[in-house]
């Protein structure tokens, strides 16, 4: 299993502190090395087999579906909003829900409310990505939370994405929100457990 290079500074810092703790007291050192191993595990990047069927809307994250609701978004239009919560125990690599062209990307500063408090998280810091294909425009939000304070998003405007392609990660647990055009049939439900790039949110 690969460890993402974005996690290396966190792992190195934890290892350095653990080495100091070990010199002070063995018990502290063991706790520190346990934390270091957990951080390395957190930044794991397992291989995924991406479904190849046409018209699938794939989950962008590992986690639990907190909300599925009808709404309206300025660029997407009438749509379904699907919110997925990632705990610190989930794989945190985020993936494109559909293939298409990145037509807009922007960072919106905000608060750091707990990611599971859905109404408050509307004000949270986030990275917003719009992907366009022949089914319409899709919006993906990487949302920071109380613990997650760093959002990483690799694609640039104009990039072509394939379904399930890795697009970034959020460090230490948070929320992914998807705005899916109304014409898409949503099959996921509140409470479902999903896997990034493998679980199906809907079908065109």
For residue range 63-99, what is the model confidence (pLDDT) as tens digits? 999 999 999 999 999 999 999 999 888 888 999 999 9
**pLDDT for the residue 35:** 86
The domain of 109 spans 56-203
Look at residue 201 and tell me whether its pLDDT is greater than 60. Answer: yes
pTM of the model: 0.86
> 85 and 126, same structural domain?
yes
The chain-wide mean pLDDT, for the chain, equals 90
User: How far is 166 from 169, CA to CA, in rounded Å?
Assistant: 9
> 68 and 8, same structural domain?
no
The total of structural domains in the chain comes to: 2
Give the percent of the chain with pLDDT over 70.
Answer: 93
Q: Cα separations (Å) of 189 from 14, 150, 163, 194?
A: 38, 28, 21, 10
> 98 and 21, same structural domain?
no
Asked if residue 51 belongs to a domain, the reply is: no
> 106 and 78, same structural domain?
yes
**pLDDT for the residue 8:** 85
Residue positions annotated with a catalytic role: 174
> 153 and 120, same structural domain?
yes
Nearby residues of 203 by Cβ (< 8 Å), 6 or more positions away: 55, 56, 57, 184, 185, 187
Give the percent of the chain with pLDDT over 90.
Answer: 56
At how many degrees (to 10) do helices 26-42 and 8-24 cross? Answer: 170
């Amino acid at each position: 299993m690969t460890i993402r290079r974005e996690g290396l500074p966190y792992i190195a810092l934890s290892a350095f502190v653990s080495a100091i703790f070990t010199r002070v007291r063995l018990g502290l050192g063991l706790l520190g090395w346990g934390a270091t191993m957990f951080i390395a595990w957190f930044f794991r990047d397992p291989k995924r087999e991406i479904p190849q069927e046409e018209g699938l809307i794939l989950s962008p994250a590992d986690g639990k579906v907190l909300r599925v609701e009808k709404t309206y978004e300025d660029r997407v239009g009438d749509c379904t909003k699907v919110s997925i919560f990632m705990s610190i125990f989930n794989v945190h690599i985020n993936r494109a829900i559909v293939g298409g062209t990145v037509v807009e990307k922007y960072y919106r500063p905000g608060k750091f409310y707990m990611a599971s408090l859905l109404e408050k998280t509307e004000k949270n810091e986030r990275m917003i990505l719009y992907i366009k294909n022949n089914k319409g425009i899709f919006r993906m939000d990487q949302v920071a939370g109380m613990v997650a304070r760093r959002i990483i998003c690799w694609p640039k405007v104009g990039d072509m994405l394939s379904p399930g392609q890795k697009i970034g990660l959020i460090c230490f647990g948070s929320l992914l929100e998807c705005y899916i055009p109304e014409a898409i049939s949503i099959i996921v439900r509140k409470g479902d457990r999903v896997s990034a790039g493998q679980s199906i949110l809907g079908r065109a």
